[in-house]
Amino acid sequence: MSNNKILIVLFTFLVSFDMSCKSNPESIVKPESETETEEKANQDYFEYSNPQLYNSIDDGNMFRDPCIIKEGDTYYLTGTRWPHFEEWGVVNGTAIYASEDLKTWRLVCNPVTRPEANGLEWWKYYFWAPEMFVDNDKYYYTVNCSQNGPGGQLQEVALFVADQIEGPYTPISVDKSIIVGNDAHIFKDTDGKTYMFISGITGFEIDLMTGKIIGDVFECVKPTSDQGEWTSASATGFEGPYVMLRDGIYYLFFSTWARGYEIGYATATNIKGPWTMNSDPIYGSMNEAACARTGTTYESGYYENDFVESGHNTVFSGPDGRDWIVAHVFAQPFTGGYLENHVEMAFDPIEFRAGKIVVFDGSREVKGPTLGIKRILIEN
């Protein structure tokens, strides 16, 4: 074939290819940068930083024992209000705050307020560790109170109910408490039965309509030297129970204070146990002063953070659809009492893996809480 014929054939092919692309634009291969731009348009990021300090909550004084639940696109937060302990001031009841971004919070209601001293209500003091629980379009609210003043710290469980999360909340039992105990948590099983768990850690079936206990109270976990110093029977107690069911396995979170404030968990295949404790805590803090006080061993670098205290967790549905753990933290060493130390909050994504709980710092598995600014990918 002559050179002229070759040029004619090549020119005809190029014209045909150009016309084909113009008539079918989708056949054009997009530049890589344009493709990446379209992909990024379908992605977003949630940025957060531990520890979190919210000036809008209790005039800048953050909750202890935070509990977060998500309703629609709104997060609701409650917890033990400042000054947290009755010896240093009067806690006037409880509060619920709301947020769409987990950063800016607004007060929506005060579910429980301190009654008059001569009132018929049995709950008078403390108002510790409230939690929210939603079931059959009813909003249940537990809080741990005392009939006695400062010095008589016998805690008892109060239970309230409302038709909407903003209230108003009415008591299930006015003349007496549900049970003597602290840190009440409600869990509903797949068979429709509802259980309450309290510090200790013990549980029992409960009728939410009446507040009546059904059957016997059963023991879940208790301090023991078998698991190591963090659960030492001579140095700590177990508190802050929180139960979840994932893929047929029950997970029971709890906090101990032998070495600072640490969160561990136990697993079971039946809500009443037997429960098997995980050998190590997964979220928390260890500090030398606490270890010296309880005679336990301080392990430098065990956690990702240098917080003084991290504990009493709940779990909520996070912005990326995963489960997230939330706990209160103290970032500074104690200098003379709780009033001199500002309580803060930390949360991080977690996963449940066939009997194991994993905490994440981005894609890295850690013992949290994490520290500093984090960015989590949100897929739209």
Query: What are the pLDDT digits (tens) for 152-165?
Result: 778 999 999 999 99
Q: Taking residues 208-222, what's their average pLDDT?
A: 96
User: Number of structural domains, the chain?
Assistant: 1
Tokens of 38: 């379209």
The whole-number pLDDT of residue 175 equals 87
Q: Is residue 12 part of a domain?
A: no
CATH code, domain with 153: 2.115.10.20
Q: Is residue 108 part of a domain?
A: yes
DSSP 198-257: ETTTEEEEEETTTTEEEEEEEE-----STT-GGG-TTT---EEEEEEEETTEEEEEEEE-
Residue predicted with more confidence, 153 or 129: 129
CA gap 243, 267 in Å, rounded: 10
Query: What are the pLDDT digits (tens) for 331-349?
Result: 776 555 555 557 889 999 9
Q: Is residue 4 part of a domain?
A: no
The total number of residues shown for the chain amounts to 380
Q: Taking residues 100-107, what's their average pLDDT?
A: 95
CA gap 370, 375 in Å, rounded: 12
Tokens of 232: 């030492």
**Interacting residues of 298 by C-beta distance below 8 A, sequence separation 6+:** 259, 286, 287, 288, 291, 292
Read off the pLDDT band of 9 (50, 70, 90): very low
Containing 357, the helix (H) or strand (E) segment is strand 356-361
Q: Is residue 207 part of a domain?
A: yes
Q: Is residue 49 part of a domain?
A: yes
The whole-number pLDDT of residue 296 equals 92
Q: Is residue 344 part of a domain?
A: yes
Name the residue among 40, 44, 101 with its Cα closest to residue 73.
Answer: 101
Name the residue among 105, 79, 89, 93 with its Cα closest to residue 168.
Answer: 93
CA gap 112, 93 in Å, rounded: 5
Least confident residue range of 83-97, 171-185, 209-223, 324-338: 324-338
Lay out the sheet containing 202-207: strands in order across. 185-188, 194-198, 202-207, 212-219
**How many other CB atoms are found less than 10 A from the CB of residue 216?**
9
Name the residue among 273, 377, 369, 361 with its Cα closest to residue 319.
Answer: 377
Q: Could you give the percent of the chain with pLDDT greater than 90?
A: 64
Query: Which residues on neighbouring strands pair with residue 378, listed in sequence order?
Result: 44
Whether the pLDDT of residue 24 is over 50: the answer is no
Query: What rounded mean pLDDT belongs to the chain?
Result: 86
What is the extent of the structural domain holding 193?
44-379
